[in-house]
Chains A and B, each alone.
Chain A
Amino acid sequence: MSINTLRLAGALFGAVALYSAPAVAEDLVLGASVQLTGPVANTGRYYKDAYEFTIDKINEAGGVKVGDKQYKLALKLYDNQSDVNLSVRQYTQLITQDKVNLLLGPFASNFALADSAISEKYQVPMVQGGGASDQIFSRNFKYIFGTLAPASNYFGSTIAMMKELDPAPKSVALLYADDSFDVSVAKGTRPLLTDAGFTIALDERYTSNASDFNSLLSQVKNANVDAVLMAGHETEILNFVRQAKSLSVAPKLYSFTVGVPSEDFRKALGKDADYAYGMSAWLPSTDLKDRWFGDAAAFAEAYKAKYGYAPDYHAASGAADVEALAKAVEAAGTIDPKAVRDAIAKLNFDSLYGTVAFGENGQINLAQTVVQIQDGNLAAVYGGKGFIEKPKYPMPTWDAR
């Protein structure tokens, strides 16, 4: 027993000794813990790459000017192995031991929820681009800011567009998968629909990873709805469209939260993908001007050249996080975390990701761009400022295609 006790004490003291890592020098250090291994590492990597890419770019341009001092940005990054407990500990370590100046976020809402408690506790602002859940911003925390479009507003721009269509759809079917994110989307969409004067003729939840939509589609057919809004995952949506064709269910419009912007979606469905609406929080367009990268298209191109894959909205959101911190430090004229926090709250600048400005609760209000597949090509049809390209509406019946 005494040997075991000794071991226990030894292990603890060993851990103490190993933790006294050296503090970092003159740079302005941003700390983050992201998922580089584990189940969600695939998306976690976008954040690592985006953070590093943007920091390098800002440093190339001379870094950030704080008061009359020039700072270089540096990144202290840990892998949390997709483990929430570990990520909480790593953020504590970043603040208390590594003495980083400001924080960047992890990927995924459950991580951001847990980690935001740490930034709040130590009063170091965290700008995170990985958690879209409204719950993160419902706790009146002052030090957490988010750049992902809120889940509750995913269909916001689609509904705004529907009001301006001619003939306007009246009845709507709302279908959603039973996971956390899609339930939040549905929860936020209901009041948007009723406020806009649509009737929700069908409101159905289905099991995630379902492959059989026949009964759901017959309900859609019976209710004879004009529009179908569906929040789910790409495979479900592919199955839904295929089975809609075989049952010849053709509402005037259907829109899906994911899949439509991706090339795989169009490849998988071929001509049947036409007329499908979707949304994208970010399109690499030249209209999105950026101080460091020029514009979003240039960012996407340089990013792809460096990492070998095209950036999506996760990467753009991560890049915007770094830019938001850089802008805020410059505006504050100091690297004091509290002053920087106030500067972040007041931010309002155009970036490759869109206009970055945070609401009272710390969440960005970013309108989704409505996209539609027209003759096999992706077209942006409706944005924050109205119609972009003319939508093909209403959708013809399947035998008339």
Chain B
Amino acid sequence: MNSAIRIAIALLAVVVLAALPWFGSDVIVQFGISTLLLAVLAQGWNIIGGYTGYPSFGNSTFFGLGAYGVAVAMVQWNMPFWVGMVFGAAMAVCFAILLGLPVLRLKGHYFAIATLALAQVVAAIVSNIPLFGQNIGLVLPPLNNDAMFYELSLALLLMATLTVWWLTRSRFGFGLIAIRENEEGAAVMGVNTTLYKVMAFALSGLFSSLAGGIQAYWITFLDPASAFDISLNVKMIIMAVFGGPGTVLGPIVGAVVLSAVSEVLSSEVTNAAGLFFGIVVVAAVVLMPRGLADIVHHFRKSGWRYFVQNIRAHRI
């Protein structure tokens, strides 16, 4: 009964979101596209960062590769959009596997640092390959169909979320959580940790690259600086952590709430928007370091004391 209601509510939410282009204004639809894409990125990061416990700072590399897959296929080879999506996703997954094998041996801060430079390295490589338009960038043919981009992004987010949901009830997902909690312990229990970690990294890369592909076609221009933007990686981590890493809906809620806050700030107090956004993030980290999802679980029990407890527990 309870789960039937949940499924009904989820379906209703999806239907309402899918219908948005028909009743929302152009700006809302564009806001929807970039929020959905950010939510996909946060969800993708959730797989490697939230469930597996490997804080990757390299996910924007996959985003960039996916974007370049579409741009190269459409501009240089005159192929349709979906071929580019497949090409970009293939590049990202291959890259994730090849790179994951050595890098995923590192843990904690070392892993974060190793992935931090990735985006810059790949950007430097790409800017020397003529096929990728070097530093000049590639201009894609414009397609004025925001509704299509919106539905594509929504479908992608749905796919990513269902995958994460599947993680919470599959052997693979439990394996990842075991790795996060105690990697040696997981290995002793018979989890093939290397295989699991690399697969999680590749899965994370797959969704990030597909988001990149949609973004490239939508914005119609791509250069190394915009494709391999490190601040994008920071954004997706903030959103996932804000919503609650290692939960199914946390990253989505984080992406939507933070995008909405940032959007309202940037059109209402246009000059100091960045400052206010920073305050929101700092307040979130101090008051609710385990994300919105954690509040939902604990707020009922401890009420407003929840925030006070957090400040005490994580004394800075």
Residues of A within 8 A of B (CB): 1-5, 7-9, 11-12, 14-16, 18-19, 21, 36-38, 77-81, 84-86, 88-90, 92-93, 96-97, 110, 113-114, 117, 120-121, 133, 135, 138-139, 178-180, 183-184
Contacts and interface: CB of A to CB of B under 8 A. Distances in A.
Contacts of A120: 142
Contacts of B5: 2
B100 to A, nearest CB: 29
A3 B219 contact: no
A78 B136 CA distance: 27
A114 B221 contact: yes
B282 to A, nearest CB: 18
Which of B5, B24, B30, B292 gathers the greatest number of chain A CB atoms within 10 Å? B30
A183 B260 contact: no
A85 B27 contact: no
Contacts of B264: 15, 18
Nearest to A78: B270
Interface of B is mostly: helix
A114 B219 contact: yes
B27 A84 contact: no
B223 A117 contact: no
Contacts of B34: 85, 89
Nearest to A33: B270
Interface string B212-240: 00010001110101100000000000000
Contacts of A114: 219-221
Interface stretch (B8-16, B45-53, B82-90, B190-198): B8-16
A96 B220 contact: no
A138 B264 CA distance: 35
Given A1-B9, A88-B219, A18 B31 contact: no
Nearest to B264: A18
A1 B249 contact: yes
A124 B30 CA distance: 18
A81 B275 CA distance: 11
A215 B158 CA distance: 55
Contacts of B114: none
Contacts of A117: 142, 144, 220
A79 B263 contact: no
A110 B226 contact: yes
A7 B296 CA distance: 11
B137 A78 contact: no
A88 B30 contact: yes
A15 B31 contact: yes
A43 to B, nearest CB: 15
Which of A3, A15, A120, A138 gathers the greatest number of chain B CB atoms within 10 Å? A15
Interface stretch (B102-110, B199-207, B251-259, B306-314): B251-259
A38 to B, nearest CB: 8
A15 B27 CA distance: 10
A38 B223 CA distance: 18
B6 interface: yes
Given A16-B24, A89-B30, A183-B136, A7 B253 contact: yes
Contact of A139 (B27, B134, B142): B142
Closest 7 CB pairs of A and B: A113-B221, A79-B270, A4-B249, A180-B135, A11-B260, A93-B27, A89-B30
Contacts of B139: 113, 135, 138-139
B284 to A, nearest CB: 14
B137 A180 contact: yes
B257 A11 contact: yes
B256 A11 contact: yes
Interface in B264-309: 264, 266-268, 270-271, 273-274, 292-293, 296
A183 B266 CA distance: 34
Interface in B1-42: 5-6, 9-10, 13, 16-17, 20, 24-28, 30-32, 34
Given A5-B9, A15-B260, A92-B26, A178 B127 contact: yes
B208 to A, nearest CB: 16
A14 B10 contact: no
7 contacts: A4-B249, A8-B256, A15-B264, A113-B139, A114-B221, A135-B221, A180-B135
A19 B25 contact: yes
Interface in B143-157: 144
Contacts of A37: 271, 273-274
Contact of A12 (B256, B270, B292): B256
Nearest to B38: A85
Nearest to A80: B266
B13 A8 contact: yes
B39 to A, nearest CB: 10
A1 B6 contact: yes
A81 B273 contact: yes
Which of B225, B270, B292, B293 gathers the greatest number of chain A CB atoms within 10 Å? B270
B93 to A, nearest CB: 25
Given A37-B273, A120-B142, A135 B267 contact: no
Nearest to A7: B253
A97 B25 contact: yes
Contacts of A113: 139, 220-221
Given A97-B25, A180-B137, A5 B257 contact: no
Contact of A15 (B10, B220, B263): B263
A332 to B, nearest CB: 25
Contacts of A8: 13, 252-253, 256
Contacts of A90: 266-267
Which of A19, A85, A97 gathers the greatest number of chain B CB atoms within 10 Å? A85
Which of B24, B221, B248 gathers the greatest number of chain A CB atoms within 10 Å? B221
A84 B219 contact: yes
Contacts of B293: 4
A18 B265 CA distance: 11
